[in-house]
Amino acid sequence: LRDEKSLIRKWQGYAQRRLPDAVDTAFGITVNNHTAAKQDGDSDRINFDRKRIQRDDLDDFFKNLKTFVEAENREYLIGPTFVMDEDAQGKDWDNVVILTAAPQGTAQNINGNMFAMVAESESLTLTGHLSDLRMSISPTEMPESMSNEAKAVLTHEMCHSFGLGDEYAKSPPKRFSKMTVAEAAEWPFARFESQASTLDRYSNLQAREDLLNDPTDDDSGIDALKIKWRYHRIQKCAVVSTINVNQNTVTLKLQGNQTAQFAVGNPVFLRKRQRKENVYLLVSSSDATPFLEHTIIHPETIPSRYLGRVKIKSIDTADDLVTITSDGKTDSLKVKLESGKSADLKVRQTVFIETQSTNPVHTIFRTDVNDFTRAVSPQLSVTNVDLTTQTLTLAIPAQETLIDYLQTLDAKEVMIVYVPVELPADQRSANYPYAELIAKPVLSHLQENPYPFNANKQHQEAIRDNATTLIPSQLVPCCSRREKEIIGLYSGGKKYHGDIYHPSAKCMMRHEFVDKKYTELCAVCRYTLVNMIDPTQFAAFDKDYMSRKIYP
């Protein structure tokens, strides 16, 4: 009888489970339920069947996800937090990671990685035939803990959800070192052909095209003053709840009792961390070479059923109109690309429509796709601090204006106000008063020697993937052995060797290991995470940054 009771309790327990009835998602995988044995891009992972991991199917699953609160006997929907819908977008929709003991599909979550494998790949037994594209995975025990390697990969992938891009380049072909420069330039990952603006979503990547002194002249060198990660070092920072601009006066209400740190006379800047805008890209499927990314200039809003995998139904090259059909559905949508950009596409080609989030450290904004300007306010000064109402009053100096979008704050936007770190007196000048993440001596050096620190002596942006740096020794602080971590300018990113730059020779977004040791994120990437997660911690970040002997 006792056994029967416990059995009944077990059954009752099963009845309390609140997993929705989604049978054809990753959660529906059972023994001998086949996964697609298609290789995932350039790696040797085996993907789940698309039907299990596509956003639409997972969103249906998330929409029904509930939690059960026993005391009040109520159910709460927790799904909306994780759903990527155009009208009810969850705040954490791109920060969900599903741990599996099966080889994962990567980048299924557009920005980050939705699936992470916690088991060792050797522990997996696959059966079936690659030829019929169906494989079975023998059931595996979920391990108690993850290996450090799996954790490193997971951290790297999660960082993609916070606006960090890959700082590495694809491994070159075997005979690469023997190729001539001309041959090497023909290699698909040597040249980045997409618009520079498609890198705006990353705080740690910038297109060479953005920086070239003369965009039509490859040998014109770069203008170091245009480097994106000239982010101000910050000593005080708060998040703004409301902003009111009246002529030369700005009134800010701040979140979370952050007002007391500011004082009358403080120089402050305003910047948005997140802007409300829709930017969509048409991206070629992951195994295409070269990889194409085109900005969609019309329509302004794209329904969520067209996000993710779509097929090209027809192309009007004269007007750069591309008609797409959503995956497995019959309705279609016409999107307009920039002039000339539809020429590389093919009818019936599978492509992806992605939403592009804005630069998480929003210091530049585009006046058009090829030109950008600083998106930070002019220097303002604090004229009043009111602790009872948590209000800060700021003055806009005469002859300065606040760009339009810094005068308003939409519900989907986040604005910060901060006091920057001053440069020491011997480095300070009227037009360069504040310290930036890239140290002034490094910036000055790059102005005089306008080439990345991993270019060779002939200034070729060569094209190797080990953590090398030719940073001159006078830029390395005394006794430091961490010169690879100094923020500067390096060639390589988003798998490309040429045409894309990243900040330092060593970063977890570049390699997870160097010399068999785990790498940390570089200062630009760490700054980005602080900015996204808790900007009130900038002072703590800065203290740590200065303690590392990597700031000349």
Interface residue with Zn ion among 40, 56, 166, 499 (CB under 5 A) is 166
Interface residue with Zn ion among 522, 530, 539, 550 (CB under 5 A) is 522
Closer residue to Zn ion in complex, CB, 236/526: 526
Read off the tokens for 333.
């949508």
Read off the tokens for 125.
């037994």
Shortest separation between residue 154's beta carbon and Zn ion, angstroms: 11
Closer residue to Zn ion in complex, CB, 83/524: 524
β pairing state of 115-117 and 98-100: parallel
Sign of CA dihedral 194, 195, 201, 202: positive
Closer residue to Zn ion in complex, CB, 43/123: 43
Taking contact as CB under 5 A, which single stretch among the options 163-171, 291-299, 326-334, 408-416 is the one that binds Zn ion?
A: 163-171
Residue 324 lies near Zn ion (rule: CB under 5 A): no
C-alpha to C-alpha distances, 200 to 69, 153, 164, 335, nearest whole angstrom: 42, 24, 11, 21
What residues have CB less than 8 Å from 455, skipping those under 6 apart? 461, 462, 470, 491
Task: Tell which positions 455-514 bind Zn ion, by CB under 5 A.
Answer: 507, 509
Closest residue by Cα to residue 103 from 9, 40, 61, 178: 40
Q: How many helices (H) and strands (E) does the chain have?
A: 9, 26
**Residue 454: Cβ within 10 Å count:** 25
Task: Tell which positions 92-131 bind Zn ion, by CB under 5 A.
Answer: none
Closer residue to Zn ion in complex, CB, 509/529: 509
Closer residue to Zn ion in complex, CB, 353/505: 505
Give the chain's radius of gyration (CA, Å). Answer: 26
Per rule CB under 5 A, count of chain residues that contact Zn ion: 6
Shortest separation between residue 165's beta carbon and Zn ion, angstroms: 8
Shortest separation between residue 313's beta carbon and Zn ion, angstroms: 32
Shortest separation between residue 20's beta carbon and Zn ion, angstroms: 31
Shortest separation between residue 526's beta carbon and Zn ion, angstroms: 8
C-alpha to C-alpha distances, 443 to 205, 312, 352, 528, nearest whole angstrom: 17, 45, 38, 20
d(CA 72, CA 36): 44
Closer residue to Zn ion in complex, CB, 62/162: 162
Sign of CA dihedral 388, 391, 392, 395: negative
Taking contact as CB under 5 A, which single stretch among the options 164-172, 288-296, 302-310, 332-340 is the one that binds Zn ion?
A: 164-172
Closer residue to Zn ion in complex, CB, 134/548: 548
Closer residue to Zn ion in complex, CB, 445/511: 511
Closer residue to Zn ion in complex, CB, 248/286: 286
The per-residue b/e assignment along 394-421, b for 16 or more CB within 10 angstroms, e otherwise, is bebeeeeebeebbeebeeebbbbbbbbb
Helix, strand, or coil here: 222? strand
Taking contact as CB under 5 A, which single stretch among the options 43-51, 142-150, 166-174, 194-202 is the one that binds Zn ion?
A: 166-174
What residues have CB less than 8 Å from 180, skipping those under 6 apart? none
Read off the tokens for 361.
């450290």
Shortest separation between residue 349's beta carbon and Zn ion, angstroms: 24
Read off the tokens for 392.
């800060």
Task: Tell which positions 191-230 bind Zn ion, by CB under 5 A.
Answer: 204
Task: Tell which positions 229-248 bind Zn ion, by CB under 5 A.
Answer: none
Shortest separation between residue 508's beta carbon and Zn ion, angstroms: 7
d(CA 37, CA 129): 8
Q: Are 32 and 58 in contact (CB under 8 A)?
A: no
Shortest separation between residue 347's beta carbon and Zn ion, angstroms: 31
Shortest separation between residue 491's beta carbon and Zn ion, angstroms: 14
Q: Are 383 and 264 in contact (CB under 8 A)?
A: yes
Closer residue to Zn ion in complex, CB, 107/423: 107
Closer residue to Zn ion in complex, CB, 62/115: 115
Establish whether the linkage from the previous residue to 299 is cis, with ω within 30° of 0. yes
DSSP secondary structure letter of residue 130 = G
Residue 159 lies near Zn ion (rule: CB under 5 A): no
Taking contact as CB under 5 A, which single stretch among the options 29-37, 97-105, 490-498, 516-524 is the one that binds Zn ion?
A: 516-524
Shortest separation between residue 516's beta carbon and Zn ion, angstroms: 20
Shortest separation between residue 150's beta carbon and Zn ion, angstroms: 15
Q: Where are the alpha helices (DSSP H) in 95-147?
A: none
Residue 525 lies near Zn ion (rule: CB under 5 A): yes
Closer residue to Zn ion in complex, CB, 83/507: 507
> Could you list the residues that contact Zn ion (CB under 5 A)?
166, 204, 507, 509, 522, 525
